[in-house]
Amino acid sequence: MQSSYNTDISVVIPLFNEDESLPELVTWIDRVMKQHKFSYEVILVDDGSTDKSWQVIESLSQKIKEVKGIKFKRNYGKSAALHKGFEVAQGHVVITMDADLQDSPDEIPELYEMITQQGYDLVSGWKKKRHDPISKTIPSKFFNGVTRMVSGIDNLHDFNCGLKAYHHNVIKNIEIYGEMHRYIPVIAKWVGFTKIGEKVVEHRARKFGTTKFGLERFVNGFLDLLSITFVSRFGKRPMHLFGTLGSLMFILGLIGACYLGVSKLYCVYNDIPATRLTQRPSFYLLLTSMILGTQLFLAGFLAEMIARNDKDRNRYIVEKETANTTL
């Protein structure tokens, strides 16, 4: 299925309070694009900045026609900013990068080539040599290792690198929300874009301001990983998870309860002293197992009904069509 693009590259930059770095960053991007003769657009998404970032964006858009600005009413988070940027991007290749000058625009031409010439759906940057304190690098390595293990994408070392390149079709067929921007490669793989590559990129020391992320992002990141793993595997078939767990718990509880009942009857008929069932802790454990199993099964049944009524349940991506195919 052929697609037309209005420009070669869209650069989507989410930002929050980065007024000092924006002029240098945009000028650098403009220089790289003109040097390689790319048609391009820069989409600056101001995520509710409280400094002069928006005034700087307005000024830059007047000086450089390729610069476009979007301002949120308040701070919604990086995922929301990326989602809005993806929504309006028109480029054949979409590049995302941070606004703090720690990502180098000089990486753009090679990232573009990896998408257009080497056929990758998504290319993620890997900041192999980082200028971050150990309090950030060690947790980052841990969570990247867990993500590789859970997602099966074992060729990526840095899922959270802001510098990434996407084919246009990828960003138009994924949805990111909450703080899911950390796991865009996982979302893309789930949707069906499996050709995911990596490129070692330069990590520059922060020139202006301070980082906007704290250690709590690692806790949130772990919870988001659990969420996206569940949604990707069972989002369209929740009964497979809840129904299976519920059935197992109910059956185990029922078998155990039957065993207790039969053993009690055996003792009664053979005049063997035996403890009353209601005085045995195992009886309540088995009863609880049966109740929880029933609840899990019902939860899966209700979730299945909701999933079947989901308006996006039959949303699929068509990769190619023959010339005589009509829709």
Q: Please give the distance of CA 249 from its chain centroid, rounded to a whole number.
A: 32
Q: How confident is the model at residue 322 (pLDDT cuts 50, 70, 90)?
A: very low
Residue 316 has pLDDT above 60, yes or no: no
- Check residue 215 and give its pLDDT: 55
Residues 6 or more apart from 50 whose CB is under 8 A from it? 17
Residue 266 exposed, middle or buried by CB count within 10 Å (0-12, 13-18, 19+): exposed
Say if residues 26 and 57 touch (Cβ distance below 8 Å). no
Assign 310 a pLDDT band (cuts: 50, 70, 90). low
Asked if 226 contacts 147 with a C-beta cutoff of 8 angstroms, the reply is no
CB 50 within 8 A of CB 17: yes
Indicate the pLDDT class of residue 178, thresholds 50, 70 and 90.
confident
DSSP code per residue over 188-234: HHHHT---EEEEE--BPPP-SS--S--THHHHHHHHHHHHHHHHHHH
Q: For 42-46, 152-156, 291-295, which range has the lowest pLDDT when averaged over its residues?
A: 152-156
